[in-house]
Amino acid sequence: DSGVTQTPKHLITATGQRVTLRCSPRSGDLSVYWYQQSLDQGLQFLIQYYNGEERAKGNILERFSAQQFPDLHSELNLSSLELGDSALYFCASSTGGGHNYEQYFGPGTRLTVT
Amino acid sequence: GQQVMQIPQYQHVQEGEDFTTYCNSSTTLSNIQWYKQRPGGHPVFLIQLVKSGEVKKQKRLTFQFGEAKKNSSLHITATQTTDVGTYFCAGSSNTGKLIFGQGTTLQVKP
């Protein structure tokens, strides 16, 4: 158990819908990262927040947005869902905001878009 | 942009055989991390290398960082069935982002 929690574990929704994925980082960690893992795409970095502020942005689509709240939990919002958005979404956390901190991954949310 | 390539994509070995996965970056890296993801699980941090030519060992696992800090390798000696999973390297340069390789999935036949 990494100490990072993600809800829900599974999500099944239809194309065009909007969903929110939630992540609580390990106690004391200030950074939260979001990743998308598809079968043929490996781990794609989406976005990082550090202490409430956006720190780094990866290949995040405009239909996706995220935020980190004052209690440091984070939410990833996915809208106008397409079949290709079906994937495993991981949240990770680290103590610092730099790229040299080890990241602790949550169990993931499996999103299925039908 | 920065790219991290990993080979091979898949590797099947007999238990007891050695295994190596290679990671190559298009740019010079400031550090490289390795993660392991068991089937159905989440990535778990294994190690971080930061110095040119650095070699670190964890029991049967040996990690190397190239002299030019553009490549890295993970070598497992005498594989066991518990080594099954996908091994990811992840490198960062001055972009401030940790870029993951595609991973190498290791299958071990008992």
Say how far residue B37 (Cα) sits from the centre of its chain.
11
pLDDT at residue A14, as a whole number:
98
pLDDT tens by residue, B50-86 = 999 999 999 999 999 999 999 999 999 999 999 999 9
**A18 in helix, strand or coil?**
coil
When the pLDDT of each residue in chain B is averaged and rounded to a whole number, the result is: 95
User: Phi first, then psi: what are they for B68, rounded to 5°?
Assistant: -85, 0
The Cα–Cα gap between A64 and A80 comes to 9
User: Phi first, then psi: what are they for A112, rounded to 5°?
Assistant: -120, 120
Q: What is the DSSP letter of A99?
A: T
Q: Are strands B10-14 and B104-109 parallel, antiparallel or unpaired?
A: parallel
E strands of B28-70, at which residues?
31-37, 43-49, 55-58, 61-65
pLDDT tens by residue, A26-37 = 999 999 999 999
**B36 in helix, strand or coil?**
strand
A96-103: average pLDDT: 88
Interface of B with A (CB under 8 A): 30-31, 33, 35, 41-45, 48, 50, 88, 90, 92, 95-103
Confidence of residue A84 (pLDDT cuts 50, 70, 90): very high
Confidence of residue A74 (pLDDT cuts 50, 70, 90): very high
pLDDT at residue A98, as a whole number:
84
pLDDT tens by residue, B5-60 = 999 999 999 999 999 999 999 899 999 999 999 999 999 999 999 999 999 999 99
Q: Going by C-beta distance under 8 Å and a sequence separation of 6 or more, which residues neighbour residue B94?
A: B30
Percent above pLDDT 90 for chain A? 89
B6: enclosing H helix or E strand: strand B4-7
Percent above pLDDT 90 for chain B? 89
Chain B residues whose CB is inside 8 A of the A105 CB are 35, 42-44
And the tokens for A67? 């935020």
Give the closest of A45, A56, A102 to B45, CB-based: A102
The Cα–Cα gap between B56 and B62 comes to 6
